[in-house]
Structure 1
């Protein structure tokens, strides 16, 4: 392993000078800087960011904890996080933390030891236990989830978004709309979206028909069959994640139901999954990559990040149309 002393020896300077150059400090000539940078490149030297963090009371690492709510959703948030982190000279440490809003205390303890510059939670609420394990000095922010009161967060108005999606299906002429809900433990996302669906259906004087999935692909086919058993005459299904929406489209076509001629399908999130199914999935879009970027920007600022409500929008593709009787 190449050490700072190896670089110093090759550049003909002291280890302290190498440290100043690597960390962007002052106290050396332009010629010395060039020699050190050439030595770093020639020896493929990588600074020990952990040791540097211990000395500077903060490392150049941002932690991201991503529950397995949707690989596609987490991936797009991560794209934004990594872009903004790289622009700011930070690295990203990702931890997968299991289903729903659970988390691994071990990740937080590691990030605390590492003196992380901040931690981003994807679709998970900040809990008192998280704050206790991480300590009070490391900033925390949640992405793709919000409650507007308790913790720093960046998300859309989930209730309004689900309400708008349901209203879109009603406006197409659908009266029997089934909802495929997500993780029931996610009270700040899926329960809020369910409320928006119920409100729109109640305003239209139509009954709510719903079954529970868990936001992931494999949960959708059995939930769809339960939904159709409850109301065989449904003309539309609103799935509260694109992964479930894609699974619904595939399963309906497998059992001989045409999409959207027999049943329309609407998803949620506008992840890449929405365009990896045929027909391409109509969906409610949230700006996932921009949320990730903004989370990094707010973590690294010295101001209270607060709660940020992002815009959502409806994207119509090939899976929604008026019901067959209206054609």
Structure 2
């Protein structure tokens, strides 16, 4: 049976154009539409995803499962997934799973009936139960989280990223650096980041000071209150998500502190949130959109199973040298 790529080659267009014509998406000339339809007829291409899946054991569908941990982070990864999926002629089905693995497992059982070409799990580690629920023929991949090499994953080195973020603050002269940590149950993401912070602080002979939120904006506010109560003279805050970093900037300014003159704030992820505060948030950046794109290529067999992508420190307007008056 003909593939979407063969149809695209015959019509002289991209696979994404074939997919859009098949699904009735406007924006093409009548000539392009007719060429695609003629190629479909000539090659006998079956555009119905489920019908094709029943014949080939795979459909032109990709599943994406995302917990409600950080909508900003998930949306960036999803943008990359959708871009690569369009290029390969696949449609995307999205499910929100919450923080636990049980709903993700239920979704995988449902998706199994659609015979997807693969499933991307955002910020969710693949468990043996998930693998069994999906069946042996459906490839799975975790993005922005990794758990050894047993299951496919794309992530950064979270511990190294947090270490280097903390080191940048230390190199600017800061020693009283508070950490806004994430959910304690996130042992594969937040725990490595906390280790990186503690390692850099220990090497500098500085005392770590940590309070915990859950990565969301609102959760940072009581954690910030606890940090300032413990050390009113903090000169820097390292937030392990951009949403918590934005909360730190806004709350500091509400208290009359100047950012970064009185207090430096560093976030994590480089989501759009980091650019929607004033001043714009310095952050440890994950390549979120490329991670989503690469996940699709791994699922479709174009790349290896496990990839650690580079992070980078983006300095914007919320970090600077330690205040001259700081003890």
Q: Same fold (TM over 0.5)?
A: yes
Q: CA deviation at 1:34?
A: 5.3
Q: Deviations over 1:301-322 (max 9, x none)?
A: 177x332110111010100011
Q: Secondary structure at the match of 1:185?
A: coil
Q: Deviations over 1:7-26 (max 9, x none)?
A: xxxxxxxxxxxx9798968x
> C-alpha separation between the residues in 1 aligned to 2:318 and 2:302?
45
> C-alpha separation between the residues in 2 aligned to 1:300 and 1:174?
46
> C-alpha separation between the residues in 2 aligned to 1:64 and 1:35?
32
> C-alpha separation between the residues in 1 aligned to 2:120 and 2:6?
26
> C-alpha separation between the residues in 2 aligned to 1:193 and 1:22?
42
> C-alpha separation between the residues in 2 aligned to 1:243 and 1:198?
21
Distance change >3 Å, CA 232–CA 23, structure 1 → 2: closer
Distance change >3 Å, CA 173–CA 101, structure 1 → 2: farther
> C-alpha separation between the residues in 2 aligned to 1:285 and 1:87?
25
Q: Deviations over 1:84-113 (max 9, x none)?
A: 111001111111111366643331112101
> C-alpha separation between the residues in 2 aligned to 1:204 and 1:186?
26
Distance change >3 Å, CA 81–CA 291, structure 1 → 2: same
> Any conservation in 1 of the 2:69–2:216 contact (CA below 8 Å)?
yes
> C-alpha separation between the residues in 1 aligned to 2:36 and 2:200?
65
Match of 1:310 in 2: 309
How much is the aligned-residue C-alpha RMSD, in angstroms? 2.6
Match of 1:5 in 2: none
> For residues 114-193 of structure 1, what are the structure 2 equivalents within 5 Å?
114-193=114-193
> C-alpha separation between the residues in 2 aligned to 1:110 and 1:51?
17
> C-alpha separation between the residues in 2 aligned to 1:273 and 1:212?
20
1:284 aligns with 2:265: no
Runs of 4+ with >2 A deviation: 19-25, 33-36, 99-106, 147-150
Please report the TM-score for the alignment, with normalisation by the length of structure 2. 0.85
Please report the TM-score for the alignment, with normalisation by the length of structure 1. 0.85
Q: Secondary structure at the match of 1:184?
A: coil
> Any conservation in 1 of the 2:4–2:89 contact (CA below 8 Å)?
no
> Any conservation in 2 of the 1:73–1:269 contact (CA below 8 Å)?
yes
> C-alpha separation between the residues in 2 aligned to 1:54 and 1:149?
31
Match of 2:22 in 1: none
Deviates more, 1:293-302 or 1:94-103: 94-103
Instruction: Give the structure with higher Rg (CA).
Output: 1
> Any conservation in 2 of the 1:268–1:285 contact (CA below 8 Å)?
yes
> Any conservation in 2 of the 1:100–1:183 contact (CA below 8 Å)?
no
Structure 1 stretches lacking a partner, 5+ long: 1-18, 41-45
Q: Secondary structure at the match of 2:291?
A: helix
Structure 2 stretches lacking a partner, 5+ long: 11-32, 41-45
Q: Deviations over 1:236-262 (max 9, x none)?
A: 000000011011111111222221111
Distance change >3 Å, CA 300–CA 278, structure 1 → 2: same
Match of 1:322 in 2: 321
Q: How many residues align?
A: 298
Q: CA deviation at 1:36?
A: 8.6
> C-alpha separation between the residues in 1 aligned to 2:285 and 2:96?
24
